[in-house]
Structure 1
Amino acid sequence: MSGRPKRELVLSESEFEQLKALTMRRKTAQALALRARIVLACAEGADNKTVAAKLQLTQQTVSKWRSRFVADRVDGLLDAPRPGAPRTIDDTHVDAV
């Protein structure tokens, strides 16, 4: 095994179900669904290089989302707030439209 050692990624049953649901739902943002697929593939025991080849991504992308999941669990897969002006329209108004 080459490279830095990775912390083991073990999913609870509820996390597995939640990630699987994110990959299956039609309304899930595709970026979030991809992140869930990355974590599920890593949880199967595959290394970052194998997951990257399987999902046609870079190893850096797989490493980023794997480490974020290990650190923050499912909440780590969500988009971080971006700098700039605060939103003027909240999610309830967006859903209404």
Structure 2
Amino acid sequence: MPVAPARPVAPTAAERQRLKKMAYGHKTEHRLRLRAQVVLHAARGRSNARIARETGLHLDTVRTWRGRFAEHGLPGLTDRKRAGRPRVFTVLQTAQVTAPACQLPAESGVPLARWSAPELARETIERGIAAFMSASTVRRWLAEDALKPWQYRSWIFITDPQFRPKAERVLDLYARTFDGVGLGADEYVVSSDEKTSIQARCRCHPTLAPGQARAMRVNHTYGRGGALAYLAGESSFRLAA
């Protein structure tokens, strides 16, 4: 079969300058750099076979990008849009999966403190939203919407009118100072408290659900439910050697 003649290439001055930046720029993708080199060689009147030898590309590849530039110019060197694999899940299913991540699990009757990707995938199947769902798929959808329901940030309302003088004393002790006098090398600060994790308590303020680019917020303030606590010592004191 006769070989089709090489397409003539005649880039403008602006196109030639852009091609040189693409062909020799350090930040240019490798595939775009090779395509620009093909066009520059073609603009010098070189044959496709010679360009293939000098660039290390297949002859058909050189012929393709030479023809694409001759027909479409610089836009012809970019990749064409591809249809890709058909969607497995609908947009509605995606929204139904990510919506619970913006709510507390207790609102859905789930006995969890916060959602995780595997728990959301399991909840999706139990609700009948989809017949199957993987944790990696849920994690990818949440990442696209900047949702991280497994994270939380603590916050607190300061209601004690004596908070500032109390805080100043504690902060001074952190800086090894007591009543304006620095602690000596043989003096120590000891801090102790009750084991709050085993106390009967409840949060004074409701937990705020997570949202887009916002972690769940849990308040530190709590009220004891009638349990007694024994303090092993004062919050801070001086020990003399």
Match of 1:23 in 2: 23
Q: Which amino acid aligns with 2:3?
A: G
Q: Tell me, which stretches of 5 or more residues in structure 2 are unaligned?
A: 88-140, 145-241
For 2:61 and 2:7, locate their aligned partners in 1 and report how far apart those are by CA, in whole Å. Answer: 16
Flag the structure with more relative contact order, 1 or 2, with Cα contacts below 8 A and sequence separation at least 6.
1
Q: Which amino acid aligns with 1:49?
A: A
* Matched position secondary structure for 1:3: coil
Match of 1:64 in 2: 64
TM-score using structure 2 length: 0.34
Contact persistence 2:23–2:33 (CA under 8 A): yes
Q: Tell me, which stretches of 5 or more residues in structure 1 are unaligned?
A: 90-97
What CA deviation, in whole Å up to 9, does each residue of 1:47-88 have, x standing for no partner?
A: 1001001111111000000000001000000111122269x8
TM-score using structure 1 length: 0.80
Could you list the runs of 4 or more consecutive aligned residues of structure 1 that deviate by over 2 angstroms after TM superposition?
none
For 1:37 and 1:27, locate their aligned partners in 2 and report how far apart those are by CA, in whole Å. Answer: 15
Greater strand share, structure number: 2
Contact persistence 2:8–2:42 (CA under 8 A): no
Could you tell which deviates more after superposition, 59-68 or 25-34?
A: 25-34
Computing the radius of gyration from Cα coordinates, the structure with the larger value is: 2
For 1:56 and 1:7, locate their aligned partners in 2 and report how far apart those are by CA, in whole Å. Answer: 20
Cα RMSD for the two superposed structures: 2.0
What CA deviation, in whole Å up to 9, does each residue of 1:5-48 have, x standing for no partner?
A: 23311111111000001112222111011100010011111010
Q: How does 1:74-85 map to 2 (within 5 A)?
A: 74-84=74-84
Q: How does 1:1-97 map to 2 (within 5 A)?
A: 3-84=3-84
Greater helix share, structure number: 1
For 1:81 and 1:3, locate their aligned partners in 2 and report how far apart those are by CA, in whole Å. Answer: 29
* Matched position secondary structure for 1:26: coil
- The aligned length equals 87
Could you tell which deviates more after superposition, 20-29 or 36-45?
A: 20-29
